[in-house]
Amino acid sequence: MNLFKSKISSNCVYLIILIIVSITNENKIKSSEIYNSNKNDKIEWKPIEEENIEGDDIDWYILDEEENKKEDEVKWLQIQVEEKDEKIKFIKNIENNIKRSNEIKKSNNRFILLNKGKSIPTASTLKNGELRIETNTVSSFSSGNSGGIGNQNYSGLIQYGLNSQITLGIFYTEADDPLFKKIGQYNESSANLWTNFGGNIKYKILNKEYYKISIDGSIENWKVGSGGCFGYNCTSNSKNIFNSKNEKILNNNLIGSISLPITYKLDNKEFSIVPKLSILPKNQGNHNGKRNFYGNNLGIGLGISNKHTKNITTFYSYYIPIIYGYNSFNSNLEYSKENVYTAGLNYNIDHKITLEGYLTNSFGLTPSTSILTMPSTKQIIYGGRFIYTPTNKRNSIIKSQDKESKKQNNQIYKNNNINLLNERETEIVYGVDNKGTQNIIVSRGFSDNFTFEIATENISKKNYDNKYIKTYLQPGNPSIRGGGTVLYNTKKDFYNLKNSLRMTFGRVLGKTRPGYLFAELANSLDINEFITMNVNPKFAFTGDGTLSSLGLNVIYNLNNRMSIIPNINKAIGNSDNTYSLNLERKITKETKLSLGISNYLSNNDMGQLLKDDKLNYKFKVSYNF
């Protein structure tokens, strides 16, 4: 019996072993088949052609180096495989797609601050091939003795990343307002001119994980003028500050600067310390006499920035002059050393557009002159900067937006004198009325959220009693204005609500050239398929007070080609009650005509807030491409 049990047990063991061997061989065959199948069937990687991808509303952004770190770092080892092996082709496909993905990410990096205020550069440089174009303006809060909206300085700057270590720049600035304060016993403010043209180079000499060091230098031609007058077509005369005579003095000076910015990064904060030397002239004048000027200045700057969100960064800076010359003078022509400070906010609208606003006591807008306060005073002024980065590309995955809805959105803004165009779209508008007033507006979509515009207007010559018309519009003289519109909010779930801000600045080109700032908040609601309502508060800021009005209009679409638009501007302060009625007709896909009647003085900015003594009939044609 025991022998029988032993045989049965042995047979069972043999049977189990045979089953295991059979299963193992079968798995080997299947594994071989899978391997051969994978070997023969290549994986093909294809780019997604569509820009709009349906799906969940995912917020995509680029991780910082610190955010992307892991405690246990993954180590990648190179596989030594023959080129002819199919495996290497598969791996190379993966590598190529990773490389392509990284290139897309690099083209959409977050905005990098190159300065914390004009006087304090950081050690950061632009990416290889990156291009930035910016405009900058500073202005006093009041006009002082200079007239107009205040003392202003304007600048334009183009910067280019030659490689990841070297950034090149070229710039131009101009300030031509009379001095903010009268000098001593002078009867009137002296005419003043600061014009700069030059270039700068920044070279990153050290780039570590948490800190970097650069050398930043500039060379500039600084044209300094005083006395006489520098306004467009002006005929007045004033004493200069260099020899106190009633004559114009104009000097060209070769100046420069060199600094050593050291920037340290900690989480979302950046700290910069910047030793800086500005090489400036020590006197100015002519053969009739000279007077001391600023002279060379050596100081140290401190700066800090804090990134609160993906789009918002605040910054603060402080420059302390230490030895050598001066950086400020008062109404008694007494020169002194004054600390220069700046506090501002940087708002990144989208991948191409950045806006910046700040308070400062720095009036110069170049590397060398940025340590100087406003001539004749050291008071706080305000500034604004617009930055356009055309080389940045749209994200590979973006929020889906219906094209027809987008087209309708733009149409509403155009009908409301708010031109919000698609990226790379251009519009030219020409308007004329029965009294001969003409205007031309050229607009360009820099991105889907920002449209730039430049406009010129010439109001027919006529005598008016209104001081704003006589001072800031000056009928019979041309004017030029520039600015833009930014779309900052859209809510499709609430009557397709859209909010945008339009701001322009410019001046009349008359014997005097006072300017004003115009701002308009556009709020649009789709009541139904045919009716859209707009509520637009409007403001014109001048040196003689602020004009304000509440704009209300309704756009009634009769059909796909024709709209009727009644508009009312309800006076709030220093303005008039004005109205208009327009009929718009789309002739072709690119062309639109408009006929209207209004009591506007003119159709551009402040002209809408002031009434004419008679009704005007106007004609307008626009062309999009």
Q: pLDDT tens across 184-205, in order? A: 878 788 889 999 999 999 999 9
Residue type at position 114:
L
Confidence of residue 144 (pLDDT cuts 50, 70, 90): confident
For residue 24, is pLDDT > 70?
Answer: no
What pLDDT does residue 511 have?
Answer: 73
The DSSP H or E segment spanning 405 is helix 403-415
For residue 241, is pLDDT > 80?
Answer: yes
At residue 608, the 3 state secondary structure works out as helix
For residue 571, is pLDDT > 80?
Answer: yes
Residue type at position 465:
D
Confidence of residue 2 (pLDDT cuts 50, 70, 90): very low
For residue 174, is pLDDT > 90?
Answer: yes
CA nearest 522: which of 489, 570, 563?
A: 489
The whole-number average pLDDT for the span 331-354 is 93
Q: In angstroms, rounded to a whole number, what is the distance separating the alpha carbons of residues 335 and 339?
A: 13
If you write DSSP's letter for every residue of 28-76 in order, what string do you get? HHHHHHHHHHHHHS---------SB--SS-----PPPTTTT--SS----
Candidate ranges 144-148, 226-230, 260-264; pick with highest mean pLDDT: 260-264
- The pLDDT tens digits for 255-303 are 999 999 999 999 899 999 999 999 999 999 998 889 999 999 999 999 9
What pLDDT does residue 420 have?
Answer: 81
For residue 318, is pLDDT > 50?
Answer: yes
Per-residue tokens: 122: 């950081």
Confidence of residue 166 (pLDDT cuts 50, 70, 90): very high
Q: In angstroms, rounded to a whole number, what is the distance separating the alpha carbons of residues 545 and 149?
A: 9
User: Does domain 403-624 correspond to CATH entry 1.20.140.10?
Assistant: no
For residue 57, is pLDDT > 60?
Answer: no
At residue 424, the 3 state secondary structure works out as coil
Confidence of residue 21 (pLDDT cuts 50, 70, 90): very low
Contacts of 269 (CB under 8 A, 6+ apart): 304, 305, 306, 307
What pLDDT does residue 606 have?
Answer: 94
What pLDDT does residue 27 have?
Answer: 44
Higher-confidence residue of 579 and 490: namely 579
Query: Would you say 438 and 459 are in contact if contact means Cβ atoms under 8 Å apart?
Result: no
For residue 611, is pLDDT > 60?
Answer: yes
Strands (E), 331-434: 335-336, 340-348, 353-360, 381-388, 426-433
Confidence of residue 507 (pLDDT cuts 50, 70, 90): confident
What pLDDT does residue 365 have?
Answer: 96
- Return the percentage of the chain with pLDDT > 90, whole number: 55
What pLDDT does residue 110 have?
Answer: 67
Higher-confidence residue of 67 and 328: namely 328
The whole-number average pLDDT for the span 574-590 is 93
CA 123 to chain CA centroid, Å, is 21
For residue 59, is pLDDT > 80?
Answer: no
Per-residue tokens: 484: 């833009």
> Of 101-115, 326-340, 456-470, which range is least confident?
101-115
Confidence of residue 444 (pLDDT cuts 50, 70, 90): very high
The whole-number average pLDDT for the span 452-472 is 91
- The pLDDT tens digits for 93-111 are 666 666 655 555 554 556 8
What pLDDT does residue 78 have?
Answer: 58
The whole-number average pLDDT for the span 582-606 is 93
Residue ranges of domains in the chain:
106-388, 403-624
Could you check whether 106-388 and 403-624 share the same CATH topology? yes
Confidence of residue 92 (pLDDT cuts 50, 70, 90): low
What pLDDT does residue 69 have?
Answer: 53
Contacts of 569 (CB under 8 A, 6+ apart): 538, 549, 550, 551, 552, 575, 577, 578, 579, 608, 609
> Of 172-186, 212-226, 270-284, 337-351, which range is least confident?
172-186
At residue 298, the 3 state secondary structure works out as strand
User: Does domain 106-388 correspond to CATH entry 2.40.160.40?
Assistant: yes
For residue 412, is pLDDT > 80?
Answer: no
What pLDDT does residue 111 have?
Answer: 80
What pLDDT does residue 238 have?
Answer: 85
